[in-house]
């Protein structure tokens, strides 16, 4: 399985012999909160991998982990076929159905799906996203990935041996109280306790988020020097990891 960092934020691509799966794809130059750019926006520094390599039409599955605009960028999603299979939440499915997408699969923790040569297993997202988002395992006979877009229980023990963990390393707290993205120290403990081979950072550089909401966030971005003891992959846009 090939893991590809789609952009400079939190979009992912998985490639196997039979599949090209995109997760939370952001294909435009700027993400904006629908109808309220003043509230939340983020500008990218690069073309998305799918755009750069003319691969949008080659994607055969989408995973949309939440209905929030930084995960479900509707201008990006509308670049895909209305018949594409989408694994997503109940709230996101309502947005997608309204836009004309006909093949939404609403997932819940404990669900398992066969995607040709891969298995997708849904797990509950960490708090405070446990009712609005989801985490998942994606695995085949040779490798396994766990993706949690926001926060994890620091006592997390994986159900499987993990080749890679995709999760956050830049701490973000709303009003300085509610953690919505983890710091590297917490993530490193999870890596160590589960003997995970590679850490793949997601939701990186949160200080690039602009708008009114950004003033409500207390952000502590990771210290590059602390990466020395961890195998980090896919740090930069379009980086790949074969597992």
Query: Residue 44's pLDDT is what?
Result: 93
Mean pLDDT of 236-241: 97
Q: 27-38 burial, b if ≥16 CB within 10 A, otherwise e?
A: bbeebbbeeeee
Say if 240 falls within a structural domain. no
Contact 8, 17 (CB under 8 A): no
Query: Residue 199's pLDDT is what?
Result: 96
Query: Residue 229's pLDDT is what?
Result: 74
Q: Does residue 226 carry a pLDDT above 90?
A: no
From CA 164, how far away is CA 166, in angstroms rounded? Answer: 7
Query: Residue 134's pLDDT is what?
Result: 98
Say if 186 falls within a structural domain. yes
pLDDT digits (tens, 9 = 90+) for 103-112: 999 999 999 9
Which band of pLDDT confidence, cut at 50, 70 and 90, is reported for residue 223?
confident
Contact 160, 119 (CB under 8 A): no
Contact 66, 133 (CB under 8 A): yes
Of 5-14, 35-44, 133-142, 222-231, the one with minimum mean pLDDT is 222-231
Query: Residue 34's pLDDT is what?
Result: 87
Contact 160, 239 (CB under 8 A): no
Q: Is the bond leading into 52 cis (omega within 30 degrees of zero)?
A: no
CATH of the domain at 23: 3.60.15.10
Query: Residue 59's pLDDT is what?
Result: 98
Domains in the chain, number: 1
Q: Does residue 228 carry a pLDDT above 90?
A: no
Say if 169 falls within a structural domain. yes
Query: Residue 230's pLDDT is what?
Result: 84
Say if 242 falls within a structural domain. no
Say if 122 falls within a structural domain. yes
In DSSP terms, 159 is beta-bridged to none
Mean pLDDT of 168-197: 95
From CA 210, how far away is CA 239, in angstroms rounded? Answer: 25
Return the higher-pLDDT residue of 33 and 228: 33
From CA 157, how far away is CA 109, in angstroms rounded? Answer: 16
Q: Which domain holds residue 135?
A: 2-235
Q: Which tokens hold the place of 84? A: 């594409």
Mean pLDDT of 199-220: 94
Query: Which position has the token pair 């993205």?
Result: 181
Contact 145, 1 (CB under 8 A): yes
Query: Residue 225's pLDDT is what?
Result: 72
From CA 214, how far away is CA 191, in angstroms rounded? Answer: 29
Say if 90 falls within a structural domain. yes
Mean pLDDT of 128-144: 96
From CA 95, how far away is CA 177, in angstroms rounded? Answer: 30
Say if 243 falls within a structural domain. no
pLDDT digits (tens, 9 = 90+) for 153-180: 999 999 999 999 999 999 999 999 999 9
Contact 71, 139 (CB under 8 A): no
Q: Does residue 204 carry a pLDDT above 80?
A: yes
Say if 34 falls within a structural domain. yes
Contact 147, 118 (CB under 8 A): no
Prediction pTM value:
0.96
Burial of 214 (0-12, 13-18, 19+ CB in 10 A): middle
């Amino acid at each position: 399985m090939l893991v590809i960092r789609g952009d400079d934020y939190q979009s992912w691509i998985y490639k196997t012999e039979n599949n090209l799966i995109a997760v939370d794809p952001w294909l435009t130059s700027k993400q904006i909160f629908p109808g309220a750019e003043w509230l939340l926006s983020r500008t990218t520094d690069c073309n998305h991998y799918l755009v750069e390599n003319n691969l949008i039409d080659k994607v055969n599955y989408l995973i949309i982990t939440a209905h929030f605009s930084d995960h479900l960028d509707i201008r990006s999603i509308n670049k895909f076929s209305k018949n594409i299979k989408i694994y997503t939440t109940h709230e996101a499915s309502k947005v997608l159905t309204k836009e004309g997408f006909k093949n939404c699969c609403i997932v819940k923790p404990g669900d398992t799906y066969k995607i040709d040569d891969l298995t997708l297993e849904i797990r509950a997202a960490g708090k405070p996203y446990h009712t609005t988002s989801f985490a998942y395992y994606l695995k085949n006979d040779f490798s396994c990935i766990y993706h949690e877009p926001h926060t994890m229980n620091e006592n997390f023990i994986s159900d499987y041996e993990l080749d890679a963990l995709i999760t956050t390393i830049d701490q973000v707290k709303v009003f300085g109280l509610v953690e919505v993205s983890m710091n590297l120290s917490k993530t490193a403990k999870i890596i160590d306790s589960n003997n995970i081979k590679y850490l793949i950072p997601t939701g990186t550089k949160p200080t690039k988020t602009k708008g009114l909401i950004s003033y409500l966030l207390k952000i502590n971005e990771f210290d590059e020097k602390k990466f020395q003891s961890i195998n980090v992959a896919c740090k930069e846009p379009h980086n790949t990891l074969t597992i």
